[in-house]
Structure formats: C-alpha cells, structure tokens
C-alpha cells in the first residue's frame, strides 16, 4: 500500500507523543488503528512494569509481538526510568504497522533500545533466545483470543521466571454467547449470567495454569481484571513443579442459581452434595473448569498504587478507583452474590449494599465489593447469613 505523507497525525497518550497513520475516517476501519479505549490497559501496564522493576531490581527486556501502532512500547521506553529498560522487541504481522513503528522509532530516537520484527507473533516468540536475561516480560495483545500463543510464551519466559501479560477480547466466546466455541478453545463451560466476566477471566487463567503445568511451570496471578470489552491477565512464571502441583488443587467449578444468586465452588477432585439450589430448589448452573485462587498479589498492587503519582497516566482517576476496589476485594473468596437477586428472594426493597456490607463486617465476616459488578458482594458469609442481615432492615 502507498503511504501518503498527509495522513500522518500526532497523538499523545500518557506523556508520550507519537504518530499514527489515518487511512480511514473511522478509527476501527484504519488498517492499523490506535484505540484510545485501551489506554487504561496501557496505563496499568506501565504501573505494573514499574512495580516489577522495583521488586526485581533489574533492567527489563520486553516483548510486544502484537504492537499495532507501537504505542505500548513507546510508552514503556519513554515513561519508565531510562536506566530500567534494556530492550523492547516490537513486532507485528502487518507491514503498515511496521512502517508506523519504524517512523516513530526514528523520530523518537528509540533505535538503540527498540528492535523491530515484521513477522507472525508465534515466530517472534519462538525465535527468542532462551538465555538468561533476554526476555523478562511478554505482552500478548492479539485481536480476540491469546490462547495459541500462551504455551510458546511460557517456554520463552521459563529461564528468567519472567512475566506473561495477556489481553483477551473474545468475550462473546468466554462470556457464553458461543459456548461450543468456548468449550473447543478453552475446554471449559462459560456462562451468560451474572458471573460471566469473573468466570471468563478464571477460565483464561485456568488455561494458563494447565499449559504451564504441562511444562513443569507454575503461573502466579499478580493482577487479573476485566474492564469493559476486554480481560487482562498478568502472571509471574515460576519454574517449580511443587508450586504448580499446589496450584492445580485450586482448580474447580462454580455452581450458581440464576434465580436467587446462591453460589458454591468445588475443587475438580470433589463433588457438590446437591446440584439443586438449597434456597429455591432450582437446578444450579455449572461453569468451568476454572481457577479458584487469587487474582491479585497484595504487595504488587500496593506498589502500583504508590507509583501512580510518578507517572502522567491517561486515566489516573479510573486507575486509582480500580486499584482501590482491588485492594478492598483482595482477601475475599472467589465469586460474588448478586444483591438484587437476594433482595428479591427476601422480598425486601431499599436495603443498600453498604448497609449489608457494614452489618456483615460487624459480625466478623470478610466482605467486599468487587470489580466485576457494582451490585456484587464477595464474602465468606453463607447465603443464610446474608439473608439474616437483610431481614434486620
Ligand atoms: C489489538 S491490536 C494491537 C494493539 C496494540 N498492542 C496497542 O496497544 O495499541 C492487534 C495487532 O496484532 C497484529 N496481528 C494480528 N495477528 C498477528 C500475528 N499472528 N502475529 C503478529 N501480529 C499479529 C495486528 O496487525 C494488530 O496490529
Ligand atoms: Zn436459588
């Protein structure tokens, strides 16, 4: 394709200004588009890498094999402390993306730190040298599912016990619109009901844990979340069969009632006593297999929060809100009760989520809101205990 000089436009995200090529009026029609909606994903990536650098005290090598305009990598080189980034490998299969990246790399004087690769991501990942200190972080950001790149990435990260970051935008599959596709791609049953996003995220992590386990590796979630139309998983790779064995004990299923929001989780090796809802006798829906363990690492999230002021983030307020919610949720068990269904079951109106939270907390239960739903409540209290609290009002 001919590149015409008058179609270049400057964009600033965070504190980085770079050029994009606008060959269509609507951003999503452009041959390589810059998506401002994903700025939150990139802001959190900057904060996450900053925490990793502080924790590991070493210069990082970062691989961005689905780079698009390259914005993620420019921000990493430009916004993180200069002496903390050794090398960034930026790749894409689309020649226009490579043209955009090459132009920006020259204009921004990034040539020393940036290596550009025009190839299929799988070849780029596969060709990484498997030596010490060559690749610390791989960030998968494909259109749709990252599943076919996970195992190769884990192999590349093994020697440095690095970090795998991955976005997934195939929510129609993972959130149950196409359950057969979900079963084929992720070997798991999704749901379309109130738990859909948390189930989707935990199915994706389950797949990472299974792939890692086959290689004798473990992956430890440090920040996994869902935001609008995407899921994002950040895990640390550990070269330990023992840790992997322990993690496999936290794989299982969630059962839930679509009518009254009763929920129960069960490990893969165990059976649920009854698959009928103990409140309303409706047949429980089952989703999984999925990951039942933690989605966040406390120290890591706290460091990210501390570092917010260090950067010019595109969406600082949103990031602060999300990290606060995560810190609230961090010790809660997996999955949440959907409070409007419990209020309907109790035939109660006008009891607020805050009132329920305060009452359960005063009784000594672990309780929090959740990033997955503003009407959701995570707690170790049983359904009956929540009903008791609601009935006091
Ligand atoms: C979601 S966009 C990337 C957005 C970018 N990471 C960002 O933060 O703005 C996905 C990119 O992956 C590229 N792509 C698709 N399939 C690929 C493959 N198999 N190997 C390498 N790149 C691929 C596309 O050309 C596109 O630029
Ligand atoms: Zn029920």
In the chain the domains, ranked by start, together with CATH numbers, are 5-329 (3.40.50.150), 337-391 (3.30.56.70)
CA of 353 to the centre of ligand 2 (A): 20
**Residue 22: its pLDDT value, please?**
86
Residue 197 pLDDT > 90: yes
CA of 186 to the centre of ligand 2 (A): 28
Write out pLDDT tens, residues 224-240.
999 999 999 999 999 99
Q: Which of 47, 41, 40 is nearest to 300 (CA)?
A: 47
For ion ligand 2, residues whose CB falls within 5 Å:
257, 259-260, 262, 277, 279-280, 282
CA of 299 to the centre of ligand 1 (A): 31
Q: Residues with beta carbon inside 6 Å of ligand 1?
A: 32, 35, 38, 42, 65-69, 71-72, 91-94, 97, 120-121, 141-143
Which token pair is 374? 């503003």
CA of 72 to the centre of ligand 1 (A): 12
**Residue 259: its pLDDT value, please?**
95
Mean pLDDT of 274-279: 92
Task: Record the pTM.
Answer: 0.97
Q: Which ligand is nearest to the CA of 275?
A: 2
CA of 345 to the centre of ligand 2 (A): 8
Lowest-pLDDT choice from 31-45, 64-78, 164-178:
31-45
Nearest atom (ligand 1) to Cα of 35: 9
Phi, psi of 320 (to 5 degrees): -60, -45
Evaluate whether 113 touches 88 at the Cβ level (below 8 Å).
Answer: yes
């Amino acid at each position: 394709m001919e590149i015409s000089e008058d179609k270049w436009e400057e964009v600033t995200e965070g504190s980085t200004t770079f050029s994009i090529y606008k060959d269509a009026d609507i951003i999503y029609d452009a041959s390589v588009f810059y998506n401002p909606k994903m700025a939150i994903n990139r802001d959190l990536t900057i904060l996450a890498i900053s925490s990793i650098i502080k924790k590991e005290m070493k210069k990082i090598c970062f691989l961005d094999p689905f780079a698009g305009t390259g914005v993620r990598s420019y921000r990493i080189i430009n916004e993180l402390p200069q002496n903390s980034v050794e090398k960034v490998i930026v790749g894409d299969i689309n020649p226009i993306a490579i043209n955009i990246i090459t132009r920006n790399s020259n204009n921004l004087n990034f040539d020393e730190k940036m290596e550009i690769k025009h190839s299929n991501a799988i070849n780029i990942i596969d060709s990484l040298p498997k030596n010490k200190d060559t690749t610390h972080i791989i960030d998968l950001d494909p259109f749709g599912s990252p599943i076919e790149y996970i195992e190769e990435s884990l192999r590349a990260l093994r020697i440095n016990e690095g970090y795998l970051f991955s976005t997934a935008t195939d929510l129609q599959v993972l959130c149950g619109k196409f359950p057969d596709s979900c079963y084929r791609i992720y070997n798991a049953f999704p749901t379309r009901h109130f738990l859909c996003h948390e189930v989707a995220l935990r199915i994706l992590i389950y797949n990472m844990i299974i792939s890692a386990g086959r290689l004798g590796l473990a992956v430890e979630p440090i920040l996994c979340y869902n935001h609008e139309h995407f899921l994002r998983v950040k895990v640390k790779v550990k070269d330990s069969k023992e840790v992997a064995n322990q993690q496999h004990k936290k794989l299982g299923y969630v059962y839930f009632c679509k009518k009254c929001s009763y929920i129960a989780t069960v490990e893969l090796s165990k059976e649920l006593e009854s698959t009928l809802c103990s409140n309303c006798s409706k047949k429980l829906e089952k989703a999984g297999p999925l990951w039942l363990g933690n989605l966040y690492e406390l120290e890591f999230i706290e460091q990210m929060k501390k570092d917010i002021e260090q950067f010019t983030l595109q969406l600082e307020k949103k990031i602060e809100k999300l990290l606060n919610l995560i810190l609230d949720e961090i010790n809660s068990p997996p999955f949440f009760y959907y409070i409007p269904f419990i209020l309907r079951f109790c035939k109660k109106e006008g009891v607020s989520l805050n009132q329920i939270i305060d009452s359960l907390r005063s009784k000594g239960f672990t309780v929090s809101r959740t990033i997955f739903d503003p009407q959701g409540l995570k707690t170790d209290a049983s359904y009956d205990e929540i009903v008791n609290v609601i009935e006091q009002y």
